[in-house]
Amino acid sequence: MDIDAEPIYRVYVNDELFGERKWIWKNAYLEETLQIEAPSGDYRIRHEVIGTGQITVKNIRVDFGNASVNGDVLTINTIL
């Protein structure tokens, strides 16, 4: 693969593929949004690069709902 080729990355929640994107921007910031509706529990969020290249993942957060993130683990809480 060409070193200047756009990397492809995948986003997983546990082992379920949630998205696959081709990174076509140079020196750019992109915000990825995942909409997750799931039972209470812990869910690991993982990013995988296909081929060469790398991405940096920062500021994983929950904007809506009763959940929290610690590192790469999303914890969904039961609403009481």
pLDDT of residue 1: 43
What's the pTM?
Answer: 0.79
* More confident site: 2 or 21: 21
**Are the C-beta atoms of 24 and 12 separated by less than 8 Å?**
no
Tens digit of each residue's pLDDT (9 = 90 or more) over 35-48: 888 999 999 999 99
* More confident site: 56 or 15: 15
Tell me the Ramachandran region of residue 59: left when phi exceeds 0, alpha when psi lies from -120 to 50, beta otherwise.
Answer: left
